[in-house]
Amino acid sequence: MSRRVVEVAPGRLDAWRLRFHENNADPDPPQRVVALERFDVDPVAVILVRRGGYAVGLSSGDSLLAHKVGSRYVQSRTAAGGWSQQRFARRRANQADALVGAVAGHLLRLLSEAPAAARSPAGLVTGGDRLLVADVLRDRRLAYLSDLPRRDLGDVPDPNASVLHRAVERAHAVRVTIEERTRH
């Protein structure tokens, strides 16, 4: 048996379930729903970070209340050896630290300038490079976000405005786990 997860918009869940059950009406269906996971928290803070780009935002429902998207150069690995290798590794680390600092700063600014109802998010949505997201949340001013209910979107494309909007939609989607029988 294998499992897969699909994301369904909350407003479409009833129709999706009806269609799923119609397509799997056999007494011994080839697939079945084994779990539903909802993320019903609002408002949420969104942090998407990858080497070279970031997107942060505050959302209520499917709409973004405030957001900031940007890019920062982070050098990729090099084949150089010896002193050069160490110098490039230090440069990469410094560039990644600058990226993390910029993301934390922008999120703090968004939180401070947001409408009163969104200044204290009830949940957190993350995506991209997990280590960079963890570094952002290590900022003592944002540490409280780590305790909020979280939905991780995993690896996302390079963050831009459309990726951020899609992340907000995915944040509230119902995750349906489907178990499929393997055929012999």
Examine the domain organization and report whether 27 and 74 are in the same domain: no
Q: What is the pLDDT of residue 89?
A: 61
Examine the domain organization and report whether 66 and 151 are in the same domain: yes
Concatenated DSSP letters of 124-142: EEEEE-HHHHHHHHTSTTT
Examine the domain organization and report whether 106 and 32 are in the same domain: no
Q: What is the pLDDT of residue 177?
A: 96
The number of domains in the chain is 2
Examine the domain organization and report whether 21 and 74 are in the same domain: no
Helix axes 82-113 and 130-137, enclosed angle (nearest 10)? 60
Q: What is the pLDDT along the chain (184 residues), one digit of tens a residue?
A: 899 999 999 999 999 999 999 998 888 888 999 999 999 999 999 999 988 789 999 999 888 899 999 876 555 555 555 656 665 666 655 666 778 889 999 999 999 988 777 788 999 999 999 999 999 999 999 999 999 999 999 888 889 999 999 999 999 999 999 999 876 5
Examine the domain organization and report whether 71 and 24 are in the same domain: no
CA distances from 62 to 53, 101, 111, 164 (A): 22, 27, 18, 11
Examine the domain organization and report whether 12 and 66 are in the same domain: no
Q: What is the pTM of this model?
A: 0.82
Examine the domain organization and report whether 22 and 82 are in the same domain: no
Examine the domain organization and report whether 83 and 145 are in the same domain: yes
Examine the domain organization and report whether 33 and 52 are in the same domain: no
In the three-class reduction of DSSP (H, G, I as helix; E, B as strand; rest coil), residue 153 is classed as coil
Q: What is the pLDDT of residue 47?
A: 96
Rounded CA-CA distance 181/49 in Å is: 36
Domain span at residue 28 reads 2-37+176-180
Examine the domain organization and report whether 154 and 64 are in the same domain: yes
Examine the domain organization and report whether 9 and 62 are in the same domain: no
Examine the domain organization and report whether 23 and 80 are in the same domain: no
Residue closest to 50 by CA, chosen among 73, 68, 31: 73
CATH value at residue 158: 3.30.420.60
